[in-house]
Amino acid sequence: MYFYRPKNTNMSFFQKNTSLFARLGYFISFVILLLLSLIGVEFFVGNGDGIWFDYDLRLIGFRLVAWAVSFVVLYLLIRNGPPLLQNVLLSLVSVLLVIYGVEVVVGWIHDASQKSTTSSLPQYAGPAYDSSYAFDEFLGRKPIPNHTFWWTKTLKGKPVVQIGMKADSFSRRITPFADSTHPKRDKYALFFGCSFTYGDAVKDNETIPYYFQKENADYQAYNYAFFGYSPRHALARLQHEDLTKQVSQKQGIAIYTYIEDHVNRAIPSAGWIGMYDGYFPDLDESTMKTTGVYRFVHPIKYRFGMMIFKSKVRQHFAMDFPFAYRPKDYELTANLIKASQEEYKKQFKNDNFYVVVYPDLLKKDSPMIGLLKERGLKVLDYRKLFPFPSKQYQLSYDSHPTPEAHRLLMEQLTKDLKKVGGVSGMTN
């Protein structure tokens, strides 16, 4: 009897395959099975969102597989590609390895220097700004509505400064009245700006809007500023919200408080992309319209900016990109403030929009004043009103201005507005 015996071939299913693609397949299969196991465990012992101990398991798996495939493709191209492509890729890999090496070495130096300089200084920690804001589809971040954020600075783990910052239903920091009689306040004062205007590290009754309201009993101040805000935020708020429905008064003024640091936020610089994690308004410069949140509209620019921001070389040498403000950066910032003024005028039907330039010892030669005036903006230049930054007007536990600095600024603003009829002589 004859039995058919198949010939031995190299196609056995269980035969070990050592080719590069086979090894890549083994690796991908291992990663997928491991992650499925971890996700399954997380589903039963966690909340089922795929995040375990703050690690997004799905994202980690995708990145591992993507890197593995990229390395294999790169290896094959270098090994089997045309000579020109091989040379280009080898040069690129060499450059990247040198950059990585420099990053590692400078990182060691930077970390060592940071330890030596901070060991002799008080080790303040906080505040936890993450608990102060909510996501907004146009602003990126805004104060949590109807919420009190506790600005807390700790020293050696113990709170040394605790300040409650209250926001209303429109995500505006509440400005308390300076008196108990509550006189009729038939005019509004809208304040736009950054943490200086919002009142970083000071109480509700120590902010710029508060001192203005205290000096002008017929005004009610509305604080539209926030931590890290810029001209982009002022424009986005005016373009996407009807502020006339958020204030009860029909007459009033708007104040934009400018500091030189607003230029890198307007660009935006790599440092600011990292500081705010890309959560700020995107801008179509051709139309001056805000079009969503930067990190989602420009994901590649956002990731490139984050790479630069996290660079140890950048941190050690205190660099930013661009390295210095260019004329076009100042132009863009001035255009943003001008666009904000135009949007304000459309809504409130008056031209009572003022730009207050905050005292600044470091930027005496800034071209911004001239650029703003060229655009027809009303500018109040207070750069020399008092020395800032300085110990006298800077908080001991924070880099922001003291309440006395805010008071002096609003005292001078009130005097100047009365001279030009901006406080008492307004018309619609």
% of residues, the chain, pLDDT over 70: 90
Show the DSSP H helices in 259-326 as ranges.
262-266, 270-275, 294-297, 299-310, 312-316
Bridge partners (DSSP) of residue 284 are 289
- Among candidates 310, 170, 182, 287, which has minimal Cα distance to 226? 170
pTM for the full predicted model: 0.83
Amino acid at 365: D
Q: Is residue 428 pLDDT above 60, yes or no?
A: no
Beta-sheet strands, E only, within 319-397? 353-357, 378-381
More confident residue, 63 or 136: 136
Name beta bridge partners: 187: 219, 251
Q: Could you read off the pLDDT of 290-348 as tens digits, one per residue? A: 999 999 999 999 999 999 999 999 988 888 999 899 999 999 999 999 999 999 999 99
Tens digit of pLDDT for each residue in 390-412? 999 999 889 999 999 999 999 99
Q: Which of 334, 397, 280 is nearest to 271 (CA)?
A: 280
Q: Mind listing the pLDDT tens digit for each residue in 109-163?
A: 888 877 765 555 567 788 999 999 999 999 999 999 999 999 999 887 788 899 9
Locate tokens 């600095």: which residue? 405
Question: Could you tell me the pLDDT band of residue 13, with boundaries at 50, 70 and 90?
Answer: very low
Burial of 51 (0-12, 13-18, 19+ CB in 10 A): middle
The full set of domains in the chain, from first to last, is 20-118 (no CATH), 124-420 (3.40.50.1110)
For the chain, the farthest-separated pair of C-alpha atoms sits apart, in whole angstroms, at 120
- Could you tell me if 406 and 255 are in contact, meaning their C-beta atoms sit under 8 angstroms apart? no
- Residues whose CB falls within 8 Å of the CB of residue 51, separated by 6 or more in sequence, listed in order: 42, 57
pLDDT level of residue 14 (50, 70, 90 thresholds): very low
| pLDDT higher at 22 or 378 | 378
Share of the chain above pLDDT 90, in %: 61
> Is the confidence at residue 211, as pLDDT, over 70?
yes
